[in-house]
Amino acid sequence: MQRTVHLTLQGKGGCFKSGITALVAQYLAANAAQAPQCIDTDPVNRTFSRLTALGVQGLELLNDHQQIDSRQFDTMVGRILDHHGDTVIDTGAAVFVPLKAYLVESAVLELLADEGIRTIIHVPLIGGLDFTETVRGLQAILDDLPEADIVAWCNPYFGPVEQEGRGLQDSTLYKHNQNRFAGIIDMMNTDPATFGADINEVRRDGLTYLQAINHPGYSPVARHRLKRVWAYYCLQLDALNLTPQREEVAA
C-alpha cells in the first residue's frame, strides 16, 4: 500500500489554500482505507485546525523571535514517516519560501520516495490580476521540486484563470511539464451571496461538508447547495485516483 503526502503550497496569500487542504483531507477521510493524518503549519491563520472531526494537529513553526524555525520541519517529516496512512498538510503564504528551501536542501522528497511515499503538491491558481503571481509560484514548485506530482486548482473567484484568453492547459508551462501534473481541478464558480455564504459558514463553524449537510442548524436549501458542492469536488478528486488503497483492500 503506497502512502501519499499532500501539501498545499502557494506563495500568494488569500487563494483558498486552507479550503483546498480541507477538501483533500475530507475526501481521503471519506474514501481511503485509513483516516489521513492532518497537520496545520500555518503560523498566522489556523483555519485547517478548526476541523476538529479530522483531528488536525498543529505544528508550531515560530521561534521566540516570531521567525520560522526551519528545523521544526524535521518534526513534520518525522510525523509523515511514522504514520501508516496518508498525510495532509496545510501551509500559509509565509511558509512557502522557507518550506520549499528546506525540502530542496534536505532532499526530503527523495527521502519520502525511498520510503515508498508519493508526494502530491496542490497548487492554487487564481484569476484576475494575481494570475501571473500564482503561476510564478507554480513554476517555482515545478523547477525546484521535480520529485513531486502536481495538482493545480484553478480558482475563478477573482476572474477567469487565464492570461490573454489562454488557460493553464494552453500554456507553455503546462505543455513543457505535462507529465508532472496528476490533474487540474476547475473550482466551482458560484454566487458569493448563496454558495459562497454557505461555504464561509461551514468554515466558520469548523464543520466538514458531511457534517454540514446533515446539520439541522443549516436551512434545507443551504444543505442542498453544500451537498452539490461536496459532490462536485468528490467527482473532481475521484479522477485523480488518490485512494488506490481502498481498491486493494476491497480486492
Helices 197-205 and 220-238, axial angle in degrees (round to 10): 90
Banded pLDDT at 40 (limits 50, 70, 90): very high
Domains of the chain with bracketed CATH: 3-190 (3.40.50.300)
Express each pLDDT in 208-246 by its tens digit: 999 999 999 999 999 999 999 999 999 999 999 887 544
| pLDDT value, residue 223 | 98
User: What's the rounded Cα separation, in Å, for the pair 110 and 116?
Assistant: 10
Cell reading at 191: 454566487
| pLDDT value, residue 250 | 40
Cell reading at 69: 524555525
Give the largest CA-CA distance in the chain.
52
Q: Which of 17, 41, 47, 45 is nearest to 203 (CA)?
A: 47
- Per the listing, cell 461538508 goes with 209
Cell reading at 200: 464561509
Banded pLDDT at 45 (limits 50, 70, 90): confident
| pLDDT value, residue 244 | 58
| pLDDT value, residue 249 | 40
Banded pLDDT at 33 (limits 50, 70, 90): confident
Banded pLDDT at 2 (limits 50, 70, 90): confident
The pTM for the full model equals 0.93
Cell reading at 70: 526551519
| pLDDT value, residue 14 | 86
Cell reading at 204: 466558520
User: What's the rounded Cα separation, in Å, for the pair 156 and 187?
Assistant: 7
Express each pLDDT in 221-230 by its tens digit: 999 999 999 9
For the residues 70-76, what does the mean pLDDT come to?
93
